[in-house]
Structures are given as structure tokens and as C-alpha cells.
């Protein structure tokens, strides 16, 4: 099952130890890890996204639910840092794109306060014991939520609604007097920009989903090859 995983640790060193444990579990075949990041919260409420050399098999956070969750948890600083790491900043501030409920965000934020540090990961796990056992041994507090699949339908509906408004504005523009045309054209330009941004965000999410699917296939193939090598 695809899940969002957030593990709160008492310090950054423990969070990186948790990240290594996740990678080990992935290597053992207990779970599949698609992307991950370490998020620190400062005493003043600002946040920083810490990254290593990579962010998991997906290789980028663009359009992912993990990228969006980082933006929600990290606030403006988290968004900026995430964008530098490869996320589309516009997609990170939308809770819907994170594909988890607001109650999950609230639960995590109660514990994500300085000096605590969050390890955030998008994973596929069949059972919770492997992750929970390893993280609890390191001192982590585990939160998880299955990912919702409803975002694509909402994207299509949002774009369709905006396109209907755009068509109406263009019809009014064609009949308007010169002074009114200028104001209508501004509205047309703004709405068209929003439509293009929404389409781009939807494309980013589709691309991320495709990368995740490919990563899953590759992981399963690697495990099958490893099992075959052991048997021979």
C-alpha cells in the first residue's frame, strides 16, 4: 500500500539514522521507498529541508505528494528550500496535492517543533512492523497515512471550470467597449496563467506517478534477480 510516512526524531543525527534504516529496509525488500527528505523546524517556526545526494528512486520531488507535504509542513521556508531541490513551488502549498487529510497534518505538527526533526518518506509497505520496529529503536515517533487517489479527478474538474470562465470572459471581451476591454483582457490573462499553472502541476504529478511506477517495477525486478541468484 502506498503511504506517506513521517517519523519525528529528537535531533537531526537520529533522523539521518532513520533515513539509513529506511534505505536498509528497502534493500531487504521489506518496503519500497520512493522519495524522502529530512525537515528541521527552528525555534522561530521557520523550517529547512535537508537533502543528501539524492531523494530516493524517484530522483526528484517535482509534482510528488511528498513535495507538497514538505511545503505544507515547512511553510514558506520549506517551500523555497524544496523548490531548490527540484519541487515546483506552486504545487507544494496545496494540501490536496499532499493526498493526506488535514487531521494527519495536525497530528504531525503537534510533534514537529524545535529541536525535533522529521524524516518524511513516500513508501509502499505491506505491513507496518518492519518500519515501526526500526524507527522506535532509534527513538522515532511514527505517523503514516495511506495516500488518496482523488487528485487527478479534481484537477480535471478545476481546469474545466476555469476554462468555462475563460470562455465567458472572452465572449464578453468581444462585445465590450474599449475601456472595458482592457480590464477584461487583464482578467483573461490572469485566468489563462492560472490554467497553464494548473495544467503544469497536473503534468508534474503524472510524471512523478510514472517515475514511481517505474521505480517500483525496477525494485521488484532487482529483488527477483537477487532471489534467483541466491537460489542458484
Distance of CA 65 to the CA centre of its chain: 3
Domain boundaries, the chain: 2-148
Identify each DSSP E strand in the chain by its residue range. 2-9, 31-41, 47-50, 117-125, 141-146
* 60 vs 127: CA distance, rounded Å: 26
Report pLDDT for 135: 95
pLDDT at 81 over 50: no
* 149 vs 154: CA distance, rounded Å: 10
pLDDT, one tens digit per residue, over 93-128 is 456 667 777 788 888 988 998 899 999 998 888 888
Q: Which residue in the block uniquely carries the three cell numbers 517505474? A: 214
> pTM to 2 decimals?
0.66
More confidently predicted of 54 and 102:
102
The x, y and z cell numbers of residue 217, run together, are 517495477
Q: What is the mean pLDDT of the chain?
A: 79
What's the pLDDT band for 57 if we cut at 50, 70, 90? Answer: low
pLDDT, one tens digit per residue, over 12-46 is 999 999 999 999 998 888 898 888 889 888 777 77
Report pLDDT for 85: 40
Candidates 132, 126, 139, 63; CA nearest to 97 is 63
Dihedral of CA atoms 76, 139, 101, 150 in degrees, nearest 10, equals 100
Report pLDDT for 77: 41
Q: For residues 71 and 95, is the Cβ–Cβ distance under 8 A?
A: no
Contacts of the segment 154-158: beta carbons below 8 A, 24+ positions apart? 154/96, 155/198, 155/201, 155/202, 155/205, 158/198
Candidates 45, 49, 53, 26; CA nearest to 37 is 49
Q: Please list the residues that pair with 143 across neighbouring strands.
A: 6
pLDDT, one tens digit per residue, over 134-150 is 999 999 999 998 876 55
Backbone angles phi, psi at 89, to 5 degrees: -60, -35
Amino acid at each position: 500500500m502506498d503511504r506517506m510516512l513521517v517519523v519525528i526524531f529528537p535531533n537531526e543525527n537520529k533522523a539521518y539514522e532513520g533515513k539509513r534504516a529506511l534505505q536498509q529496509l528497502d534493500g531487504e525488500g521489506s518496503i519500497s521507498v520512493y522519495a524522502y527528505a529530512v525537515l528541521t523546524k527552528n525555534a522561530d517556526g521557520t523550517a529547512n529541508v535537508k537533502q543528501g545526494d539524492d531523494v530516493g528512486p524517484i530522483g526528484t520531488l517535482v509534482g510528488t505528494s511528498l513535495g507538497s507535504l514538505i511545503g505544507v509542513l515547512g511553510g514558506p521556508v520549506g517551500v523555497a528550500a524544496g523548490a531548490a531541490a527540484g519541487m515546483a513551488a506552486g504545487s507544494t502549498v496545496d494540501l490536496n496535492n499532499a493526498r493526506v487529510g488535514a487531521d494527519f497534518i495536525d497530528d504531525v505538527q503537534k510533534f514537529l517543533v524545535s529541536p525535533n526533526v522529521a524524516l518524511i518518506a513516500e513508501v509502499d509497505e505491506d505491513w507496518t512492523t518492519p518500519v515501526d520496529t526500526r524507527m522506535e529503536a532509534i527513538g522515532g515517533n511514527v505517523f503514516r497515512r495511506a495516500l488518496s487517489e482523488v487528485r487527478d479527478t479534481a484537477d480535471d474538474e478545476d481546469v474545466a471550470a476555469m476554462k468555462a470562465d475563460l470562455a465567458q470572459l472572452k465572449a464578453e471581451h468581444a462585445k465590450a467597449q474599449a475601456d472595458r476591454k482592457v480590464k477584461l483582457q487583464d482578467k483573461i490573462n490572469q485566468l489563462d496563467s492560472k490554467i497553464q499553472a494548473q495544467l503544469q502541476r497536473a503534468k508534474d504529478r503524472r510524471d512523478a506517478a510514472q517515475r514511481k511506477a517505474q521505480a517500483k517495477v525496477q525494485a521488484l525486478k532487482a529483488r527477483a534477480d537477487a532471489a534467483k541468484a541466491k537460489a542458484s
